[in-house]
Amino acid sequence: MKTTLDNILKNYDNSGRDALIPLLQEIQENEGFLSEKSIVMTGKKLNIPTSKIYGVATFYNQFRFEPTGKYHIQVCRGTACHVLGSATVLQELESYLKVKSGQTTRDGFFSIEVVACIGACGLAPVICINGEFYANVTADSIKTIIDTYRAKEQEL
Amino acid sequence: MSLTIDINGKSYEAFESETILTVLNRNGIKVPTLCNMKDFIPTGACRICVVEIEGNPKLVSSCSFPVSNGMKIHTHSPRVVEARKTIVELLLSNHPDDCLFCVRNSNCELQNLAKEYHVVERRIHGVKNNHKIDFSSLSIVRDPDKCILCGRCVRVCEETMGVACIEYINRGSKTVIGTTMQKGLNTSSCVNCGQCIMVCPTGALSERNQTSLVQEALGQKDKIVVAQYAPSISVSIAEEFGIKPGKDINGALNAALRKMGFNFVFDTTFGADLTIMEEASELIDRITKGKTLPMFTSCCPAWVKYAEEFAPDFLDNLSSCKSPQQMTGAIIKSYFADKINVKPENIISVSIMPCTAKKFEAQRDTMGRNGINDVDIVISTRELIELIKLYGIDINNIQAELTDSPLGVRSSAGKIFGATGGVMEAALRTAYKKLTGTELTNFKISAVRGFAGRKETKININGLEIGVAVVSGLANAAILLEEIRNGKNDVHFIEVMTCPRGCIAGGGQRIGASESIIEARMQSLYKIDDTETLKVSHKNPEVIELYTNFLGEPLQHRSHELLHTKYSKRDVLL
């Protein structure tokens, strides 16, 4: 069951600024992203200016500031994937969906996240959509994959 | 001095736990710095101050490296100079090459370094910065493309002001300085003080320049264009024109403004006297009638905005008086407009302030009547200097002139508003007279003078002990507020100035003024106070005349309508 922001914050009553990252992680786990409201409330709770929280959160790749799409695409940018062209895959994906990494398409279907290493280097370059892995993706095949999901949406 | 160190082959003495940079500066050896700030803990982030230590394989940043006995330092060895030059080249690699179109042209630390280290060709080609300029604030413009990420603005905003509206956003080569959620400065907790501009080495931060609006106004022949300048202005521009720093050149300034085409020139110090009349009356009213205490001054617009955002629980404690700028503006568009028989809407009121927050203040909803602003255009000291040069006025060869009447006479009590403690001192002089009927025997209240961030004293008026406190730098104010919340009750009247040392070091002043220049400005203000005879606001003949003929009594109907205002809680991203 999802806990609300208030319920999460309740557990941090006596916490200091060192609790910031665990707290942000817990919020993201439950809400899917860090909203402006959650940053403001975190600031009030831990007595940290919101600018500092935003600074910390943007430093790490793991935090996002928009809700994830219905299909959340994780693009591996680890060493093996990089060597086999994941940069081009990401670039192509971003231009195909017209959003950058960390963002969500306007229709709310797709969101992109760059991850360090999925641990599936044998499948490089690899992407993962809602837990489903796609191996040896290329700039071309990524479009086909996206189109399959789009078609699935249209059927519904 | 317990240590001996060797610098460039010569031996010098040093203290335990000093940094190398401190020793170098003391002995007249200059190494460049960018991220380093006086009185702040060094971060060693920019690396431009690197020096070579014999036996140490790596270059070290002199700003953060402590000295040790027998250390052998080379400050300008070929290796060091090469390293510094490379740093400058790297900083330039993504920098927009638009020095000629930059507000800080010829007064830029990066430009100076490029010159000093003889960077004459582009060796390193980087991807140029491509960020949006933040025009959202009424006071401050932020151009992240020109930012070199030294972090001085971030530190002054957090550590001196306790505001922390800007921070490093993102990581690595994508790092920028920005606000929460990268929204504009206008929706952040920025109080518009402009101290970030004062510490910015490049043109990444600057005031919202309104010189073109002034030019436009001066060109409108059917309008009466009126200028007022703040108490600290006349002592803050001398050095720009080769005159002794701190020298009061108000006569030349009056003449210069008229030469530009201003129809009337007034001194905001008149408004300061008016503020004192109202504020002292309000203080006495609060003390004798048992109303909310302590009372805080409200002359400083950045402090007022800070209180609205960070301390809404104290809004009742803020004096309801408008600032001298707004009081002068209100009188210009009422009393003065009547006097010269011109409709208020046909007057363009320009004020010249040492401040960027005043630009914001003038645009507040409550600062005018019937859709007419009390003050139309606010320019900073820097913009004034620009205009003086633009209009080809030779300050050194200009015949001094007086300010115009009826808002021209000022007391020296109003003049010292420009330094921290000045408002307090001026207010106490008048409050004493109002409570006792007699004048103070010694007008000088030394306990509230000087550059300390916090000054406190007790003043005995007819057996009534008034506790007063003077703070400058909002972080100091925050500490005092917290003490009051926790029960401190021995202060009744508190002056808050956002900028450390007061308006003479305000966010709109000349960039790059040294400590000694700011000290000279303060000395100049107090010298005016020592030498002039009109030392109290309530004896200013034009202020008396204004009350007799127009306003009535302080705090009464008309003064209340024109000279007082309200504050309300401000919802921003704290």
- pLDDT digit string (tens) for B535-563? 999 999 999 999 999 999 888 888 998 99
Q: How far is A44 from chain B (nearest CA, A)?
A: 9
- B94-116 residue pLDDT tens: 999 899 999 999 999 999 999 99
What are phi and psi for residue A72, nearest 5 degrees? -95, 115
Q: Report residue B1 CA to chain centroid gap.
A: 37
Q: Is the pLDDT of residue B430 over 60?
A: yes
Q: Which residue of A has its CA nearest to B172?
A: A59
- B202-252 residue pLDDT tens: 999 999 999 999 999 999 999 999 999 999 999 999 999 999 999 999 999
SS3 content of chain B, % helix, strand, coil (to 5): 40, 15, 45
Take residue B340 and report the two structure tokens written for it.
Answer: 């010269």
What are phi and psi for residue A73, nearest 5 degrees? -100, 120
Do residue B167 and residue A49 have CB atoms under 8 angstroms apart?
A: yes
Do residue B574 and residue A43 have CB atoms under 8 angstroms apart?
A: yes
Candidate from A40, A49, A55 with C-beta closest to B168: A55
Kindly state the DSSP code that residue B503 receives in the 8-state scheme.
G
CATH class held by domain B91-207: alpha beta
CB B467 within 8 A of CB B157: no
Q: Which residue of A has its CA nearest to B166?
A: A51
Q: Which residues in B lie closer than 8 A to residue A53 (C-beta atoms)?
A: 180
Q: Which residue of B has its CA nearest to A65?
A: B181
Q: Which residues in A lie closer than 8 A to residue B478 (C-beta atoms)?
A: none
Select from A45, A51, A114 the residue whose CB has the most chain B CBs within 10 Å, as the one to mutate to test that interface.
A51
Q: Which residues in B lie closer than 8 A to residue A54 (C-beta atoms)?
A: 167, 169, 178-181
Domain boundaries, chain B: 3-76, 91-207, 212-563
Q: Which residues in B lie closer than 8 A to residue A59 (C-beta atoms)?
A: 168, 170-171
Q: Which residue of A has its CA nearest to B185?
A: A51
Do residue B181 and residue A55 have CB atoms under 8 angstroms apart?
A: no
- B277-334 residue pLDDT tens: 999 999 999 998 999 989 999 999 999 999 999 999 999 999 999 999 999 999 999 9
Q: Which residue of A has its CA nearest to B155?
A: A52
Buried/exposed B130-158: b ≥16 CB within 10 Å, e otherwise: ebeebebbbbbbbbbbbbbbbbbbbbbbb
Q: Is the pLDDT of residue A1 over 50?
A: no
Candidate from A44, A52, A60 with C-beta closest to B164: A52
The residues that bridge with B72 in the sheet, in sequence order, are B6
DSSP string, B135-172: --SSSEEE-GGG-----HHHHIIIIITS----EEES-G
Round to whole Å and give the CA distance between B1 and B151.
33
Instruction: Please state the rounded mean pLDDT for residues B144-164.
Output: 96
Q: Which residues in B lie closer than 8 A to residue A65 (C-beta atoms)?
A: 181
CB B272 within 8 A of CB B278: no
- Nearest in space to B351 (alpha carbons), one of B312, B326, B377, B331: B377
- Mean pLDDT of all residues belonging to chain B: 94
- A36-65 residue pLDDT tens: 999 999 999 999 999 999 999 999 988 989
SS3 content of chain A, % helix, strand, coil (to 5): 50, 10, 35
Fold of the A71-155 domain: Glutaredoxin (3.40.30)
Q: Which residue of A has its CA nearest to B162?
A: A49
Q: Which long-range contacts (CB under 8 A, 24 or more apart) does B40-44 make?
A: B40/B155, B40/B159, B43/B151
Candidate from A40, A59, A65 with C-beta closest to B171: A59
State the ipTM, two decimals: 0.89
Select from B134, B157, B161, B181 the residue whose CB has the most chain A CBs within 10 Å, as the one to mutate to test that interface.
B181
Candidate from B168, B171, B573 with C-beta closest to A50: B573
Kindly state the DSSP code that residue B128 receives in the 8-state scheme.
P
Q: Which residues in B lie closer than 8 A to residue A55 (C-beta atoms)?
A: 167-169
Q: How far is B171 from chain A (nearest CA, A)?
A: 5
Q: Which residues in B lie closer than 8 A to residue A49 (C-beta atoms)?
A: 158, 163-165, 167, 189, 574
Candidate from A51, A53, A65 with C-beta closest to B166: A51
- A10-43 residue pLDDT tens: 889 888 889 999 999 999 988 889 999 999 999 9
Buried/exposed B62-71: b ≥16 CB within 10 Å, e otherwise: bbbbebeeeb
Name the CA dihedral angle for B563, B566, B572, B574, rounded to a multiple of 10 degrees: 90
Do residue A52 and residue B573 have CB atoms under 8 angstroms apart?
A: no
Do residue A49 and residue B168 have CB atoms under 8 angstroms apart?
A: no
Instruction: Write the CB contacts of B46 (distance below 8 Å, at least 6 apart in sequence).
Output: B33, B34, B35, B36, B87, B148, B150
Indicate the length of chain B as a whole number: 574
Q: How far is B280 from chain A (nearest CA, A)?
A: 36
Q: Is the pLDDT of residue B568 over 90?
A: yes
Q: Is the pLDDT of residue B349 over 70?
A: yes
Quickly list H helices, B340-467. Answer: 357-362, 381-390, 412-415, 422-436
User: Which helix (H) or strand (E) is B524 found in, with range?
Assistant: helix B515-531
Q: Nearest-5° angle of CA B148, CA B379, CA B327? A: 135
Candidate from A36, A49, A58 with C-beta closest to B169: A58
Q: How far is A155 from chain B (nearest CA, A)?
A: 37
Q: Which residues in A lie closer than 8 A to residue B164 (C-beta atoms)?
A: 49, 51-52
Instruction: Please state the rounded mean pLDDT for residues A119-146.
Output: 92
Q: Is the pLDDT of residue B1 over 70?
A: no
Q: Which residues in B lie closer than 8 A to residue A40 (C-beta atoms)?
A: 573-574
Do residue A51 and residue B167 have CB atoms under 8 angstroms apart?
A: yes
How many interface pairs between A and B have CB atoms less than 8 angstroms apart? 47
The structure tokens 């108000």 sit at: B250
CATH number belonging to the domain at B3-76, selected among 3.10.20.740, 3.40.1180.10, 3.40.190.10, 3.20.20.60: 3.10.20.740
Q: How far is B169 from chain A (nearest CA, A)?
A: 5
Q: Which residues in B lie closer than 8 A to residue A60 (C-beta atoms)?
A: 171
Query: What pLDDT is recorded for position A119?
Result: 87
- Is the C-alpha dihedral spanning B181, B184, B185, B188 positive or negative? negative
Check if B3-76 and B91-207 are the same fold.
Answer: no
Round to whole Å and give the CA distance between B547 and B42.
53
Q: What percent of chain B has pLDDT over 70?
A: 100
> How does strand B347-353 pair with strand B377-380?
parallel
Do residue B169 and residue A54 have CB atoms under 8 angstroms apart?
A: yes
Round to whole Å and give the CA distance between A136 and A116.
17
Q: Which residue of B has its CA nearest to A49?
A: B574
Q: Give first-to-last CA distance, chain A, whole Å.
A: 27
Candidate from B165, B181, B188 with C-beta closest to A36: B181
Largest pairwise CA distance in chain A: 52
- A57-110 residue pLDDT tens: 999 988 989 888 999 999 999 999 999 999 999 999 999 999 998 899 999 999
Burial of B240 (0-12, 13-18, 19+ CB in 10 A): middle
Candidate from B170, B171, B180 with C-beta closest to A51: B180
Q: What percent of chain A has pLDDT over 70?
A: 98
Round to whole Å and give the CA distance between B561 and B568.
18
* Chain B residues near any Cβ of chain A (below 8 Å): 158, 163-171, 178-181, 188-189, 573-574
Cα separation values, B429 from A34, B89, B274, B321, B440, Å: 54, 57, 13, 18, 7
Query: What pLDDT is recorded for position B371?
Result: 87
- The CATH superfamily label for domain B212-563 reads Fe-only Hydrogenase (Larger Subunit); Chain L, domain 3 (3.40.950.10)
Rg of chain A over all Cα atoms, to the nearest angstrom: 17
Q: Which residues in A lie closer than 8 A to residue B179 (C-beta atoms)?
A: 51, 54
Q: How far is A151 from chain B (nearest CA, A)?
A: 34
Q: How far is B177 from chain A (nearest CA, A)?
A: 9
Q: How far is B282 from chain A (nearest CA, A)?
A: 35
Model confidence at A131, in pLDDT bands (50, 70, 90)?
confident
Do residue A49 and residue B179 have CB atoms under 8 angstroms apart?
A: no
Query: What pLDDT is recorded for position A3?
Result: 60
Round to whole Å and give the CA distance between A15 and A30.
20
Do residue A36 and residue B573 have CB atoms under 8 angstroms apart?
A: yes
Strand order in the sheet with A127-129: A110-115, A71-76, A127-129, A132-134
Instruction: Please state the rounded mean pLDDT for residues B498-502.
Output: 96
Q: Which residues in B lie closer than 8 A to residue A43 (C-beta atoms)?
A: 574
Q: Where in chain A is the domain with CATH 3.40.30.10?
A: 71-155
- A111-127 residue pLDDT tens: 999 988 888 899 989 99
- B440-492 residue pLDDT tens: 888 889 999 999 999 999 998 888 889 999 999 999 999 999 999 999 889 99
